[in-house]
Chain A
Amino acid sequence: MIQVERLEYSYPGAAEKTLKGLNFAIGRGEIFGFLGPSGAGKSTMLKILIGVLKGYAGSVRVLGQELRFTGPDLYERIGVGFEFPNFYTKFTVLENLNLFRSLYSVPTEEPMRVLDRVGLKDAARLKVSQLSKGMKMRLNFCRAILHRPDVLFLDEPTSGLDPVNAKILKDLIKEMKAEGKTVLLTTHHMQAAEELCDRVAFIVDGQIKLIDSPRELKLRQGRKTVRVEYRKEGEPVVEEFPLEGIGNNKSFLQVIDRYPVETMHSQEATLEQIFLETTGRSLS
Chain B
Amino acid sequence: MSYRALLRSDIRHLAKDPMLMACLFGPLAIIAFARYAFWPLAEWVKEQYAFDLTAYTGFVAFVLLTTIPLLTGVMTGLLMLDERDENLIAYFGVTPLTRRGYYRYRLLFPSLLALLSSGLYLLASGMTEIRAESVYTLLLLALEAPCIALFLVAAADNKVEGLALSKLCGLLFVGPVVAAFVPEPWQMAGMIVPTYWPAKSYMLGESREPVWSVLSFAAGLVYHVLLLKRADRAFARRMD
Contact = CB atoms under 8 A, between A and B. Distances in A.
Interface in B122-176: none
B87 to A, nearest CB: 4
A72 interface: yes
Contacts of A91: 9, 12
Interface string A43-55: 0000000111000
A223 interface: no
B96 A87 contact: no
A101 to B, nearest CB: 8
Given A75-B95, A105-B1, A99 B9 contact: yes
Task: Identify whether the interface residues of B are mostly helix, strand, loop, or mixed.
Answer: helix
Interface string A77-115: 010101010111111000100011011110000000000
Nearest to B87: A86
Contacts of A78: 94
B95 A103 contact: yes
A109 to B, nearest CB: 15
A86 B91 contact: yes
A73 interface: yes
Contacts of A104: 95-96
A90 B87 contact: no
Given A87-B88, A88-B86, A91-B12, A52 B93 contact: yes
Contacts of B1: 102-103, 105
Task: Identify whether the interface residues of A are mostly helix, strand, loop, or mixed.
Answer: loop
A84 B95 contact: no
Contact of B4 (A50, A90, A100, A102): A102
B97 A88 contact: no
Contact of B86 (A51, A87, A103): A87
B13 interface: yes
Contacts of A82: 87, 90-91
A76 interface: yes
Interface in A18-61: 50-52
A208 B97 CA distance: 33
Contacts of A90: 13, 16-17
Contact of B96 (A75, A86, A88, A99): A75
B71 to A, nearest CB: 21
Contact of A86 (B8, B88, B98): B88
Interface string A144-169: 00000000000000000000000000
A50 B90 CA distance: 11
B5 interface: yes
Interface string B70-101: 00000000000000001110111111111001
Nearest to A12: B240
Contacts of B17: 90
Contacts of A75: 94-96, 98
Contact of B94 (A80, A84, A88, A105): A80
Contact of A88 (B2, B4, B9, B98): B9
A102 B12 CA distance: 15
A73 B8 CA distance: 23
A82 B93 CA distance: 12
A89 B95 CA distance: 19
A78 B9 CA distance: 23
Nearest to B98: A72
Given A88-B9, A90-B16, A95-B12, A103 B96 contact: yes
Contacts of A86: 86-88, 90-91
Given A88-B86, A89-B86, A99 B94 contact: no
A90 B12 CA distance: 10
Most chain A Cβ neighbours within 10 Å, of B2, B16, B94, B101 = B94
Interface of A: 50-52, 72-73, 75-76, 78, 80, 82, 84, 86-91, 95, 99-100, 102-105
Given A75-B98, A104-B95, 5 more contacts: A86-B86, A86-B91, A88-B86, A103-B5, A103-B95
